[in-house]
Structure 1
Amino acid sequence: MEDRLDSISGLPFEILRRILSLLPLEEAVRTSTLSTVWKNLWTPFQVDMDFDTNPITNHEDCKRVIQVIGTILRSYYDCPEVWKLCLNFPESKKDLIVLATKGAENEVHFEFSKREKTSGKFKLKLEQTCQGFSDNPTKKASFSILKTLHLRSVSHLAKDLVSALFSNCQLLESLKIEKCVGLESLDIEAGNCLQNLVVLDCPDIVDLTISAPILKSFSYQGVLPQIHLVNTLNLVNVVLNLKDGLGNNEFDCEEILLLLASLKEVEILTISGWLLEWLCSAGVIFRCLRFQFNKLKELRWIDSLINRSKRDSLACFLNIAPILERLFIKIERANNCVPCPYFHQYWHEPHLWMDFATVESNTSQLDHLKVVTFLGFSIKEDQLLLMELLLKKASMLNSMSVTLPTNRIWRVVKVSLHDQQKQASSNHQNQIAVLSLTKDFFFGFTEEIYGGHCPTNANVKFCD
């Protein structure tokens, strides 16, 4: 393997750059770790720019920076490369460094950094208006080639620069914003091209407003802000990974329900379990709401643990997903637990402390559910009761599997007491049985081996 790498590394730089141009940008960047030769391919082209005052709040100076970026964009086309823009402000003693990593498929990643350690709070408005270069079509055209834009660590010093940059990206299809410390409000108004939006790990965000008429995929990870989706009727896939809890924000039950109502037409939804738990703890009964998820086919539920209240809140939510086909329940123990507060007033009525028999009777039949997957599970009482509930309610279920924290995968079926006695006498390997809490059937666990397929001796079947 090393001999092959050495022989490839000995090729001329032009050929190595051509190889990079054939790779997705993230994979191309990883080649910098292969050897010194590959690392040298990613040596930044440095551009130094001096300003008398802070250019990020000055229209003409901001325009000057973007013209330089436009030149960079027109320079690459054939192969990925890195440019380093050093914006120096002697009077304010604040320097801003922009790393622009460009791919061959009309993709650019901007990473912002500053030498000062303090970070100011700021609002960021991204609007596709083309005002930044209305007087210079040739410069505007250099931005119109962009289809993927990744913004990382945007600060208050760069907010006007980023806004002006985005306004000229008229054909942008994918936008990613991450790790923007100090960002409190993000307002995105896109045109008729943006299809994919990702916002990750902006710890100070309070308000997020999105208007994008053909947006199909929206992924958010971090603290829970107020999320307003305007003119986003074409959304298909939404991720709300609220792993960092509330942050410094307040929990507004009505705001959350309005958000869920705006997502009622999606087909794939990923959501943090604690959000559903808090809604149910506040008395929300999902089947009493005025909307349902009538197109939802795949639900991904994620949390740091599963207990009685989380289990029952998930069961309550399933009542408004009438055509659900696939359910994935993932336990990420590395995430922080988000403890639920005590609610003094209730939306409908308190119901999370009902006995399990009542929860089961209040759960709708899941007539379309075919696949259930538990990820990161350890077999405990609340998890077994959830399995039992799903086995009873999903009449068309043909696959239930459990992936343990050790990454061992087990197929789960419901086995009658009579059939379990037959299985015990045959003494099959890679099979275990766990008696249900009601003691009227067994959970049959068969380890999936041989490339992910069940062993041929796993002849346990679903039993009524």
Structure 2
Amino acid sequence: MAEELDRLSALPLEIKTSILRLLPIEDAVRTSSLSHSWRHVWTHLSRLYFLLSFPDDPDLHLTWVQRLVYIISRLRGPVTNFCLGYYAHDPKPADLFCILAFIVHKGGLQRLSIDNFGCSALLPLRYFPSLRVLHLCRLHLLLPGEFPGFELLEELSLYGVCISQRDIQLLIDGSTNLKKFQGHVKSDNAETLSLIFNSPLLTYIQYYFTDSVKEVRVINAPLLEKAHVSACIGATSSEEDCALIAELTSKFMADIAIISDFSLDFRTIKCFSQDAVSCALRVQFLQLRALHLQGSLSCLDEKVFATFCCLLRNMPILESLEIQCIDPPGKLEDLVEPDGFKVNECIKKEDGISCRRLRRLTISLTSPMNIVVMGMIRFILLNASVIELVEIIYRGNNEVEPSIVEELNLVEKASPNVNVVFSSTSDWF
């Protein structure tokens, strides 16, 4: 045992710190008791990850904060990565401010992630000149009065963040190197927010639309390639709520029509199908090559199918289409199938359809085939002249729905260019 310990002690400092990076910080600190050569190894760490549950007891709470500050203060070099996930019944802004103040003093921070799992906590954000990645979740964010902006910031994620109009726009405008934006925000008062992206280096944007914003615009992003859109719409949402989300999303989609890869959830599509208009989406994606649709089968009906057909009419060079209908086991016990007759009325060859470049169709399911999904497959096969690969990924049961087998076998016989591949798994992930 002593010989093995000596071998560990003889390892170079670089290898020792690499080992400690794989451990929780508390365990890394405990290695200081192994031997004299390990006593201060942990102080060479630069990446800190904490997952804390602050107790109700004020004294124990203070002990946690003091311990965290102690670890940061003992580090010999800068803190490059700092990730804090915590739950506190009564989060105190002074705690976060104190912790961030020590990190500012250390310098060199490149990645900051703070997730608050409890009630919303106030975060007076400090200025980090070298910051490249910022992830904040369920926080009330305040910027300094003379905030200069994170000029090196490349990735910005804000989920459930409460912020003022001034601060959100200052944060976006001040991130002149921004390449990736994700999340959704809400106002710190009763007013709705506007998010304007004038980001020449932006390549990816993901936004979750709610009634907390009045517009999300992308006015300058020539390098934008990928976008993902989702919306806060439930079974009890009113037609007015859906109309608002549809209007916000339409303007946003018009701004990002230059992208080549687009993801859209079924709830958002449903917002465009509240009336009898056959094609509510008039945005043309002239460069789009990949479309991803995902969501719950419970969102699908004949109106969603009509909007889906409309999407395909506005994507002339689409090459890859993925439809993911993912529901946890047991969720669809009370699912009511949509009107099959109305779906069948829409399934026909459309002279105006322009999806003849479609090469790959992937359908992922976790439950028996839904009428609307079956209609999607039939509509695509009728209107795409060449499909080199059709892949059905059937999750939830070990056997593929017989109607799918019959439908696609007929298509395979009719067109030698179609290669049908079935794969199935009973695993849920």
Q: Residue 301 of structure 1: CA displacement?
A: 0.8
1:113–1:328 Cα change, 3 Å: closer
| Partner of residue 295, structure 1 | 287
* 354-363 vs 145-154, which moves further: 354-363
Correspondent of 2:114 among 104, 111, 115: 111
For the residue of structure 2 that corresponds to 1:389, the secondary structure is: helix
TM-score, normalization by structure 1: 0.58
Does the alignment pair 1:97 with 2:96?
yes
| Partner of residue 271, structure 2 | 278
TM-score, normalization by structure 2: 0.62
| Partner of residue 195, structure 2 | 209
Does the alignment pair 1:264 with 2:257?
yes
Q: Residue 326 of structure 1: CA displacement?
A: 0.8
Correspondent of 2:27 among 29, 36, 57: 36
| Partner of residue 142, structure 2 | 159
Contact 2:230 2:268 in 1 (8 A): no
* Number of equivalenced pairs: 348
RMSD of equivalent CA atoms: 5.2
Give per-residue Cα distances to partners, 1:226-259, cap 9 Å, x unaligned. 4421433322111113366598993424333222
Correspondent of 1:172 among 153, 166, 190: 153
| Partner of residue 61, structure 2 | none
Q: Residue 18 of structure 1: CA displacement?
A: 4.2
Contact 1:222 1:243 in 2 (8 A): yes
CA distance in 1, matches of 2:6, 2:301: 56
Q: Residue 108 of structure 1: CA displacement?
A: 1.8
Question: What letter corresponds to residue 198 of structure 1 in structure 2?
Answer: Q
Question: What letter corresponds to residue 152 of structure 1 in structure 2?
Answer: C
CA distance in 2, matches of 1:300, 1:391: 17
Q: Superposed, which structure 2 residues align to 1:63-462 within 5 Å?
A: 76=77, 80=80, 82=82, 95-97=94-96, 107-111=110-114, 143-155=128-140, 158-161=141-144, 167-180=148-161, 182-183=162-163, 186-187=168-169, 188-199=172-183, 206-211=192-197, 212-221=199-208, 223=210, 225-234=213-222, 235-242=224-231, 245=234, 250-251=241-242, 252=244, 253-286=246-279, 289=282, 291-305=283-297, 306-334=300-328, 354=342, 356-362=344-350, 364-377=353-366, 378-406=368-396, 434-436=405-407, 446-448=421-423
1:433–1:369 Cα change, 3 Å: closer
Question: What letter corresponds to residue 97 of structure 1 in structure 2?
Answer: L
CA distance in 2, matches of 1:247, 1:170: 40
Give per-residue Cα distances to partners, 1:291-323, cap 9 Å, x unaligned. 411111111111211443322321121111111
For the residue of structure 2 that corresponds to 1:276, the secondary structure is: helix
CA distance in 2, matches of 1:114, 1:324: 40
CA distance in 2, matches of 1:8, 1:202: 55
Question: What letter corresponds to residue 200 of structure 2 in structure 1?
Answer: P
Give per-residue Cα distances to partners, 1:178-215, cap 9 Å, x unaligned. 343x4475432245411111215879995350322321
Q: Residue 148 of structure 1: CA displacement?
A: 2.0
Q: Which has the higher helix share?
A: 2
Contact 2:349 2:383 in 1 (8 A): no
Contact 1:315 1:359 in 2 (8 A): no
| Partner of residue 428, structure 1 | none
Q: Residue 146 of structure 1: CA displacement?
A: 2.5
